[in-house]
Structure 1
Amino acid sequence: MEIKKKGGIIPMVYHAKTDIILAIIIFLLVWMFGAIPLFLFIRSLSTVIIMSMVFIISVVFIWWYANSIKFVFCENYLLVKGGPFKSKIPYQSITRVSPTTDKYTGYLISSSDKGLEIFYKTAAHGSIKILPKDKMKFILELKKRCPNAQIPHNQIFD
């Protein structure tokens, strides 16, 4: 249910389930593979300062991305946002929703849960994978806004 406010409707927001440990592991792996070759070239204090700044910027970016993933039900579209990345999915273009066990693609940072795959006509790859914290509430809201989408009633979305 959306709440009406003076200037219009406040969109419904669902936050993503994130696995902070996995985000830290991803960050460390990426940084280690990028930093190890640079250690061979450490010859001055300026190199250490530059590497420290890259480290700090990397930490901030990965933390921001992992903690900002959200799904916003706007009036005419579903907005999927994570860090600087956004996808606007018009409700009329959503064709199907199904569970997915593909853990490491799309807008999800999780190592343990199963996500949702939303298929829509305007997608570059045909679908997007997401992991809202409360999947059942999310699916119920999606059913209201996309009555023509194929969302099986007997499907388990745990």
Structure 2
Amino acid sequence: MPNIASILKSEIMRLARKEIKSEIESLKNASAKQRTEIAALKRHVEQLERQSMRSIKAAARAKGEEFQPSEGKQLRFSPKRFASMRKKLGLSAADLGLLIGVAAQTIYHWEAEKTRPRANQLKAIAEVRGMGKRQIKARLEALQAGIQETTSEA
């Protein structure tokens, strides 16, 4: 004959599971509804952003100006692409740091994903990215000549 305590315990567990299941079901439904609402809001925001961008471009065209998307866009940074850009240009970390206005160690930290560049540094990186090898070489020579002048004066 089974123990009355074990029967009572199993019945209490069964009822508790049944209650929990009904409570969780309503939470699942609410969560699913919220997820669909969030997705709809995201789509709406994207649509509004596209419309806004179109109107900005149209206004710029009406004024006779050329639209420059870099003004409204956030600059992105990828350590791997940054390192490959540096190698492609044939620059040392010290040279690239000189162009951007940071130390060579900072360049290594960016490439190793230890730190990320600040907003003003991202602008300088974008500026360097838009330059050719000849422009970079000329600018480096000018910067190094300026450094040599300041060190010889001191």
Please identify which structure carries the higher helix content.
2
Normalising by structure 2, we get a TM-score of: 0.25
Q: Which has the higher contact order (CA 8 A, sep 6+)?
A: 1
